[in-house]
């Protein structure tokens, strides 16, 4: 069980990902509304930090997908009102596929926040990292965490915990769609490789066995 004691050696976002227990801890103890939106969009939507900083109400749609009520997130090329382009994301083309958030409580909290704050968080990518995640999230968890680790937490959640209503685990192509990887080999590494967080979660009985 040496991997449980490797917390200080974690360096990559993948290895810094939250365990299910840590995710629950943040969910219970984060009280600031902006902190919570950063946490929810990262851990349950897989958004990158620059996407979180620019997300707004016009990107959101409540709909159904594969038997679930979902929150659909579609990022356009430009602001529909001002016609100004958004800052460059990893993918330069408008996405042909959308992001989906499946947890009802998460959907409601995000939706109600953006209903009241149409322009979103209105804070920069740097501010999210420096003034939100590092001081607040790290204080609760008592360890190092990065903003990209939230996206890695989503990867663990969607590949290890999530199941469709029929009990099936999402396949590799669906995970690739959600993560928006250009190369499916990148997705495969996440899909098949156990991280420290996943190993620890199995030992603690947090994840459902196949």
- Name the residue ranges covered by the structural domains of the chain: 2-203
What percentage of the chain has pLDDT greater than the value 90? 43
Among 21-25, 160-164, 179-183, 192-196, which range has the highest average pLDDT?
21-25
Cβ atoms of residues 25 and 137 within 8 Å:
no
The pLDDT of residue 142 is: 94
Strands 68-73 and 99-101, by their bridges, are antiparallel
Work out the pLDDT band at 6, boundaries 50, 70, 90: very low
Work out the pLDDT band at 95, boundaries 50, 70, 90: very low
Say yes or no to pLDDT of 88 above 70.
no
The pLDDT of residue 166 is: 85
Instruction: Determine the angle formed by the axes of helices 33-45 and 104-116, rounding to 10 degrees.
Output: 130
Q: Which CATH class is domain 2-203?
A: mainly alpha
**What integer is the mean pLDDT of 118-131?**
94
The pLDDT of residue 130 is: 94
**What integer is the mean pLDDT of 70-90?**
66
Work out the pLDDT band at 9, boundaries 50, 70, 90: very low
Cβ atoms of residues 153 and 43 within 8 Å:
yes
192, 197, 203, 208 alpha-carbon torsion, rounded to 10°: -60
* Stated pTM of the model: 0.80
In angstroms, rounded to a whole number, what is the distance separating the alpha carbons of residues 139 and 141? 6
């Amino acid at each position: 069980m040496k991997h449980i004691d490797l917390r200080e050696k974690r360096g990559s976002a993948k290895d810094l990902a939250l365990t299910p227990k840590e995710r629950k801890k943040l969910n219970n103890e984060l009280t600031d509304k902006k902190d919570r939106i950063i946490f929810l969009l990262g851990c349950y939507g897989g958004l990158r930090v620059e996407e979180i900083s620019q997300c707004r109400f016009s990107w959101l749609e409540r709909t159904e997908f594969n038997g679930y009520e979902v929150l659909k997130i579609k990022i356009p090329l430009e602001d529909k009102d001002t016609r100004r382009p958004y800052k460059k994301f990893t993918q330069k083309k408008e996405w042909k596929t959308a992001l989906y958030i499946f947890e009802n409580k998460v959907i409601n909290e995000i939706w109600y926040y953006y209903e009241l704050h149409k322009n979103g968080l209105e804070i920069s990518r740097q501010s999210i990292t420096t003034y939100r995640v590092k001081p607040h999230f790290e204080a609760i968890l008592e360890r190092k965490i990065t903003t990209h680790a939230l996206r890695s937490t989503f990867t663990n959640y969607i590949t290890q915990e999530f199941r469709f209503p029929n009990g099936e685990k999402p396949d590799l192509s669906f995970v690739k769609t959600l993560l928006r990887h250009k190369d499916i080999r990148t997705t495969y590494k996440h899909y098949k490789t156990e991280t420290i967080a996943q190993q620890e979660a199995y030992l603690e009985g947090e994840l459902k066995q196949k």
